[in-house]
């Protein structure tokens, strides 16, 4: 275990050194590219007219680069539009795939096991045998009794007679 940890640590240090070297190489390539494309400006000892000429040259170069950038962006936009149009055409040529209506098939657990295991299947899985049975009679008897009591109470308390009964009941409990 410790040998594996030491091995992993050495690999991490090697990878870290390679990553640092790669970063330095990329920075060097960047500096070399910038030196080729944009040489350093030498402005010392230039008169006002020469500085203005230098600025005009730089502005002209900037305009050329902006034009190239605009042209490239226009080509990219055109290509993306073409790609979208071609994707739409491909989808249209494929046509609409119509899925068939699937029929629901009842398959028991035994049939599934038989199809998966073949003749090796000997144990039957009767899932309903392990379920509790619920007595429906008990729930049906309780419900109508509650409904009838509730309805009788509502009918008895409706109207002026019900209010009088409530008033009499309240008077009787206060005494």
pLDDT in tens, 14-34: 999 999 999 999 999 999 988
Q: What is the pLDDT of residue 108?
A: 76
Distance CA 54, CA 48 (A): 10
Q: Is the pLDDT of residue 86 over 80?
A: yes
Domain limits at 5?
Answer: 1-40
Q: What is the pLDDT of residue 142?
A: 57
3-state helix, strand, coil in the chain (%, to 5): 80, 0, 20
Could you give the C-alpha distances from 17 to 6, 54, 138, in angstroms and in order? 17, 44, 80
Same domain, 55 and 93: yes
Q: Domain tally for the chain? A: 2
- Given the structure tokens 């993306």, which residue do they identify? 80
| Region 106-134 average pLDDT | 70
Q: What is the pLDDT of residue 148?
A: 55
Query: Does residue 168 form part of some domain?
Result: no
Same domain, 24 and 61: no
Burial of 38 (0-12, 13-18, 19+ CB in 10 A): exposed
């Amino acid at each position: 275990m410790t040998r594996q940890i030491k091995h992993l640590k050495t690999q991490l240090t090697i990878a870290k050194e390679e990553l640092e070297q790669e970063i330095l190489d990329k920075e060097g390539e960047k500096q070399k590219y910038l030196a080729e494309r944009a040489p350093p400006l030498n402005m010392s000892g230039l008169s006002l007219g020469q500085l203005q000429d230098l600025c005009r040259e730089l502005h002209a170069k900037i305009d050329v680069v902006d034009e190239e950038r605009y042209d490239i962006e226009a080509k990219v936009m055109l290509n993306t539009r073409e790609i979208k149009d071609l994707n739409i055409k491909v989808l249209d040529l494929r046509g609409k795939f119509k899925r068939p209506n699937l029929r629901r098939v009842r398959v028991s657990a035994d049939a599934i096991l038989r199809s998966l295991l073949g003749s090796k299947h000997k144990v039957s899985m009767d899932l309903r045998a392990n379920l509790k049975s619920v007595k429906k009679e008990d729930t049906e008897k309780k419900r109508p009794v509650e409904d009838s009591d509730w309805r009788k109470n509502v009918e008895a308390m409706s109207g002026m007679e019900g209010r009088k009964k409530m008033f009499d009941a309240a008077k009787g409990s206060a005494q």
